[in-house]
Amino acid sequence: MINKIPKYLNLSAALFILLSCSAYNAEDQDFKKVINERFSEPEEIVLKEIYRSVEKVKHPYNITFGSDGTVYFLGYRSDHIHVFDQNTLSFKDIKVSPEGGIISSLSTSGNDLIISCAESRSVFIQTGPDEFEKIELENGLPENIIELPGGYYFGSFRASTAGRDETYFAFDLKMTDRSFNTERLLSSYFDSFLSGNTDPETTVFPFVRNSITNTLFVAISSDKYYKILAYNDNLKAKYMIANELETVSFTKDETERLNKMSELFRMPPFRKKQKDIIEDMHIDMHGRLWVRRASDADIYGTDSTLIDIFGTDGRYIKTVIINGISRIERIGLNGNRLFVANPFGSSIRIYEFDYKILFGDGK
């Protein structure tokens, strides 16, 4: 979500997921493999709905959490951010873009916001309650970033300038300094908007950081491999989570739905046949890794989500299925709450679950 993204293509990186041709640069690091040869049949997670709204946020596609638990929702092509209070279960504020332009992406650093605006090629870093520092960038505008110890950022950046007359785009997954100068490039992606391989229902460069174990997890986006690389905060190899799984194909109904979306946003017909196996990742309050995995709609239906859960050592624990959450919906995990945003239904739902019931140990 950076630089001159065409208005007719900008469903943002959260909605354009551009992964299939990613080139990973592991620099021949020695990853200790944590092989999980068999996944169990999924068990249904028990959820209690505690909040639901429709049209409070138009086309929400970005869920971001502050360190104090404040929740920020960003809608597609919006110039403001909706702030949600978990204590009162209500929207308490609306933060307007610092210069009034369309907000391309939103990240947090502690409780401070990091706002990217593609049209002005600028990043705004919050320095006070209503104060922002502006950084202008020709290329490399942040899409989804996190803060690392030592004054660094890590995440996905748009490396191209996608103007209305351009058909190619590029993304980098990298570590930068506080001024967004590249310190370490981990992966790159390059493709054409016309390829038909753009999957609008998954996440660009799935990654997440475990602040309990100081481990950074990066998924290899592939329709053939289930691999997650674990790094320390200096991007040195720790271990690799790996498994052998069968490929998952899009069903006829799913392909038809994606073609309708392509038509709506004036994109080429959807041609991708297999789903990327790893779609997103989250860390729960006890440091476990939750991996949203591609599910076979012929088996589990189109309104179900599969989550593989791993311990802090990378060992597989179990797989859960969440019924009623479709592939297009964005999810966020904070404490014992699961947040769900539907970008096309303009709905937001919040559920609670019991860790003791889920894991049997109260954790």
Question: What string of DSSP letters covers 227-290?
Answer: EEEEE-TT--EEEEEEE-----BPPHHHHHHHHHHHHHTT-PPP---B--SEEEEEE-TTS-EE
The pLDDT score that the predictor gives to residue 340 is 97
Distance CA 279, CA 202 (A): 5
Does residue 110 contact residue 45 with C-beta atoms inside 8 Å? no
Strand, coil or helix: what is 334?
strand
pLDDT surpassing 70 at residue 22: no
Query: Using one digit for the tens of pLDDT, what is the confidence trace for 47-105?
Result: 999 999 999 999 998 999 999 999 999 998 899 999 999 999 999 888 888 888 899 89
Domain 23-359, CATH: 2.120.10.30
Tell me the residue length of the chain.
363
Share of residues in the chain with pLDDT > 90 (%):
61
State the amino acid at position 144 in one-letter form: N
Q: Worst-scoring range by mean pLDDT, 61-75, 187-201, 213-227, 304-318?
A: 187-201
Q: Worst-scoring range by mean pLDDT, 27-36, 71-80, 97-106, 194-203?
A: 27-36
Of 194 and 289, the one with more pLDDT: 289
The pLDDT score that the predictor gives to residue 209 is 97
Phi-psi region of 38 (alpha: psi -120 to 50; beta: other; left: phi over 0): beta
pLDDT surpassing 70 at residue 219: yes
Query: Using one digit for the tens of pLDDT, what is the confidence trace for 97-153?
Result: 888 889 989 999 888 999 999 888 899 999 888 889 999 987 788 999 999 999 999
CA 20 to chain centre: 15
Query: Mean pLDDT, to the nearest integer, of 337-344?
Result: 94
The pLDDT score that the predictor gives to residue 155 is 95
pTM summary value: 0.89
> For the chain, what are the domain ranges?
23-359
State the amino acid at position 290 in one-letter form: W
